[in-house]
Each structure stands twice: as C-alpha cells, then as structure tokens.
Amino acid sequence: MSSTALRPAARSTATTPELSDNTLPVEYPTPAPTAPRTLADRGAAAVDQLAHVLTRHSITALRVALGLVFLGFGILKFFPGVSPAQELVQRTIGALTLHHVGPGPALLATAIMETVIGLTLVTGRFLRSGLVLLAMALVGIMSPLVLFFHELFPAGGPTLTAQYVLKDLVLAAAGAVIGAAALGARLRLPQD
C-alpha cells in the first residue's frame, strides 16, 4: 500500500476526520492564514498571540502566585521567631480580640489560616472556601493601618512595617480578581 493511499487526493480544509479503506481517521487542520508580510503586521500578530496567551493563563498564574505567597508566609509563622511579621500579627490579633487571644495562639491561628489559603489557591481545590478565608484574613492583614496608624506613619512618613502592610493592597486586589474569576467572570479579547 502506498503512502498516497492513506490520504485523499485533494486536501480538505475541514477539521472533520476522513476515512479511507483500512485507515485510521486523519484530521487535516485548517490552513494557517498567510504569514504577515510587513514588520508592523508581524508586530500586530505577535501582540494578538500574546493577548490570547495572557487571556488564557494570566488569572491562573495570578492565583498560583498569590497562593505561593500565602503558603510561604503561612509556613514561616509555624516557627516562632522566623516570620518578620510575628510581632505585628500577635499585636493585631490581640487588639482585634480585645486581648482574649494570646500571642502564641494568634500566631498559630494565622499560620494555619494563611497556609490553608495558600493551598486552596495553589491547587484550585476548595477555591471558594479559600477565598472566603482570604477575605476574612485581609481584614486582619489591613487592620494595623487603623489600629497602629501613628506607629506606622510617624511624622507623616511610612515605616518599613507600614510599607509591609501597604503592599498587602496588591494581595487584596489580586484576591478580588481571582474571586471574580471564581464567580464566573472571564477575560475576553475585543471583537474585531
């Protein structure tokens, strides 16, 4: 049997399988559009391709990256004295609970919560539950801006701790994007 017997004489542009005697289904892809001829056309095609890749993968990448941040910082809090935020966490939880929760349990509870949030974001499993935990955690994470404002911004300028807390606005925004996607929002490319 010759190799020409395995394919039809004329190439089809359809993507449906075609069968001939004693052969397996063969799909013939739709031919690619002609290659861009000018540098501007090539640039526009590259931008379009990048937009497609980002539309498809950027929210997943954001979810995993945010999850790794929470997982990493959560694991650090399991080891007393290792987390740079340990004192801030203990003071914040103490203030929020009117000092009914001691420093040790506050750090452990934060470690567990951040680790669970990180795992749900990294794996995508129980994502909605993880996002609810994230929303609750963000209240505590942002609380020092209100509870300890004068310590964080002495003489009007932010301390290093204030900058540490302020960067959490980015985490909150990332959580909002991931939450919107989990609830059904989708990125869409503009229609030509």
Residue 46 lies in a domain: no
Q: Give the global pTM.
A: 0.76
Residue 50 lies in a domain: no
Q: Over the stretch 77-136, which tens digit does the pLDDT of each residue have?
A: 999 999 999 999 999 999 999 999 999 999 999 999 999 999 999 999 999 999 999 999
- Residues 28, 13: contact at Cβ < 8 Å? yes
Q: Over the stretch 155-184, which tens digit does the pLDDT of each residue have?
A: 879 999 999 999 999 999 999 999 999 999
Which structural domain range is residue 63 located in?
58-184
- Residues 127, 175: contact at Cβ < 8 Å? no
Residue 49 lies in a domain: no
Residue 93 lies in a domain: yes
Both tokens of 99, joined, read 């000092």
Residue 192 lies in a domain: no
Q: Measuring CA to CA, how many Å separate 148 from each of 11, 62, 84, 159, 177? A: 72, 30, 17, 11, 28
> SS3 for 111?
helix
| Helix, strand and coil percent figures for the chain, each rounded to 5 | 65, 0, 35
Q: Structural domain tally of the chain?
A: 1
